[in-house]
């Protein structure tokens, strides 16, 4: 009898402890919606932003993620997928909800996973609005996050939301604050520079030099350009992302050009390739190809060797603090001489993520796997940055005079 009483009391104590940890929390998502969620959630369907969820909650909590949109990670970011697959035991066999963008999202598969909560990117939610009543009928809460707009507010709020869902609020709040502090430091340096805004053009180089691909208006790389004090030449012509008229680009005369790429670029001969296990020399070769486009030889960015490559995946993410530093350093080199964006990127992974990426993430044309010292061209030593003129020797002056004479 005593044994039965002791077992009953032990069970009661255990249930009390479990109930004390679990709670129904009202989460205020990025759309301003108040959503009640049973936290910490034990079964999560995550539409996007997978490394950010891990950064905010810890890799051990990714074991509670039962479904993702696999194509976004497995196919579009194969280098990242391969790395994380080695560290996350559940990743290889994780459930697939389909791709919202390609119209393969399956509500039935998602409901069958019996999630405690479904977390969608804002653009996914916008596409699936008509399906929301079915989630409500199944009593499955849907929470919306957004890193795509690249605002500090949504980056930090989305990170805190992840922490609320997983019960890791202290960790998430710390990561969010570090991001906010990092952006504030960038903006402080830019303001102190008191320089005119350099004009910048950013393009996703997935189609190679032969075809102008997406550039960015008010979100993603375009929003980062605004944040770090760049004059984004695409903003008047592109709402979110899309191609710009090549003639308009030539007329706009950008001071800085950044071409982004991923590991998928290696599947094509000349597409921009950046990222995990990408060789710096190969990335340099591909980046140089873009400067051969018709008329680009006359652009200030090309003439002054201010052409850069960046890892496209290092955007719409907490890790894009490093990308913001890189872009700011390209725009205002003198203000960021003591800042190493690649170190920021790798330090973030070491602190918050279970993987250590190796590859090529940030480059300047002609300078290997880094930014050129003093931003001086290695291909044309007479080229100068707009902010730091080069003092020419009498021999260089004579050579330049002869070039101009016979030009």
pLDDT in tens, 131-165: 999 999 999 999 999 999 889 999 999 999 999 99
What is the H or E stretch that residue 35 is in?
Answer: strand 34-39
Phi-psi bin for 277: left (phi > 0), alpha (psi -120 to 50), beta? left
Question: Is residue 406 pLDDT above 90, yes or no?
Answer: no
pLDDT-derived band at 6, boundaries 50, 70, 90: low
Tell me what pLDDT residue 219 has. Answer: 79
What is the H or E stretch that residue 242 is in?
Answer: strand 241-242
Percent of the chain with pLDDT strictly greater than 70 = 86
The single residue listed with the structure tokens 């950008």 is 254
> How many CB atoms are located within 10 Å of the residue 232 CB?
24
Tens-place pLDDT, residues 193-203 = 999 999 999 99
CA pair distance 347, 270, nearest whole angstrom: 31
Report domain extents, the chain.
Answer: 19-176, 195-390
Of 242, 250, 249, whose CA–CA distance to 217 is shortest? 242
Question: Is residue 383 pLDDT above 50, yes or no?
Answer: no
pLDDT-derived band at 395, boundaries 50, 70, 90: very low
CA distances (Å), origin 114, targets 108, 141, 399: 10, 11, 73
Same fold yes or no, 19-176 and 195-390: yes
Question: Is residue 396 pLDDT above 80, yes or no?
Answer: no
pLDDT-derived band at 374, boundaries 50, 70, 90: low
CATH architecture type of domain 195-390: 3-Layer(aba) Sandwich (3.40)
CA 16 to chain centroid, in Å, comes to 42
The single residue listed with the structure tokens 């940055």 is 385
Enter the CATH code of domain 19-176. 3.40.50.1980
Tens-place pLDDT, residues 66-102 = 999 999 899 888 889 999 999 998 999 999 999 998 8
What mean pLDDT value characterizes the chain?
Answer: 88
pLDDT-derived band at 236, boundaries 50, 70, 90: confident
Question: Is residue 371 pLDDT above 80, yes or no?
Answer: no
User: Cα(first)–Cα(last) distance of the chain, in Å?
Assistant: 104
CA pair distance 101, 258, nearest whole angstrom: 26
Look at 101-105, 144-148, 167-171 and tell me which has the smallest mean pLDDT.
101-105
pLDDT-derived band at 37, boundaries 50, 70, 90: very high
Global pTM reads 0.84
Pairing verdict, β 231-232 and 199-204: parallel
**H-assigned helices in 280-387:** 280-290, 300-303, 320-331, 341-352
Q: In the beta sheet, which residues pair with residue 378?
A: none
Secondary structure class of 15 (helix, strand, coil): helix
């Amino acid at each position: 009898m005593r044994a039965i009483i002791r077992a009953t009391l032990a069970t009661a104590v255990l249930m009390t402890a479990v109930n004390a940890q679990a709670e129904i929390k009202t989460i205020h998502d990025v759309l301003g919606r108040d959503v009640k969620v049973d936290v910490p959630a034990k079964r999560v369907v995550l539409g996007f932003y997978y490394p950010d969820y891990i950064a905010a909650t810890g890799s051990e909590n990714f074991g509670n993620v039962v479904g993702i949109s696999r194509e976004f990670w497995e196919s579009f970011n194969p280098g990242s997928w391969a790395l994380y697959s080695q560290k996350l035991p559940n990743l290889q066999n994780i459930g697939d909800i389909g791709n919202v963008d390609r119209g393969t999202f399956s509500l039935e598969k998602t409901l069958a996973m019996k999630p405690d909560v479904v977390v969608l990117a804002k653009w996914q939610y916008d596409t699936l609005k008509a399906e929301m009543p079915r989630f409500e009928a199944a009593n499955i809460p849907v929470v919306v996050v957004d890193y795509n707009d690249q605002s500090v507010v949504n980056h930090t709020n989305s990170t805190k939301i992840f922490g609320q869902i997983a019960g890791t609020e202290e960790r998430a709040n710390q990561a969010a604050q570090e991001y906010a502090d990092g952006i504030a430091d960038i903006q402080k340096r830019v303001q102190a520079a008191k320089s005119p805004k350099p004009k910048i053009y950013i393009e996703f180089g997935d189609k190679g030099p032969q075809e102008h691909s997406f550039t960015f208006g008010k979100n993603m790389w375009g929003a980062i350009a605004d944040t770090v004090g760049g004059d984004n030449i695409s903003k008047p012509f592109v709402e979110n992302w899309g191609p710009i008229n090549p003639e308009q680009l030539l007329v706009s005369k950008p001071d800085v050009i950044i071409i982004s790429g991923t590991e998928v670029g290696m599947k094509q001969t000349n597409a921009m390739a950046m990222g995990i296990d990408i060789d710096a020399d190969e990335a340099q070769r591909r980046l140089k190809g873009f400067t051969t486009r018709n008329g680009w030889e006359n652009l200030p960015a090309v003439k002054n060797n201010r052409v850069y490559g960046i890892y496209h995946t290092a955007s719409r993410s907490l890790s894009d603090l490093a990308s913001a530093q890189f872009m700011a350093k390209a725009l205002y080199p003198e203000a960021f001489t003591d800042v190493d964006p690649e170190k920021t990127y790798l330090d973030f992974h070491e602190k918050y993520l279970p993987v250590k990426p190796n590859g090529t993430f940030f480059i300047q044309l002609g300078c290997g796997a880094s930014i050129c010292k003093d931003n001086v061209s290695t291909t044309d030593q007479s080229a100068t940055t707009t902010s730091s003129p080069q003092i020419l020797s009498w021999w260089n002056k004579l050579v330049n005079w002869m070039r101009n004479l016979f030009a």
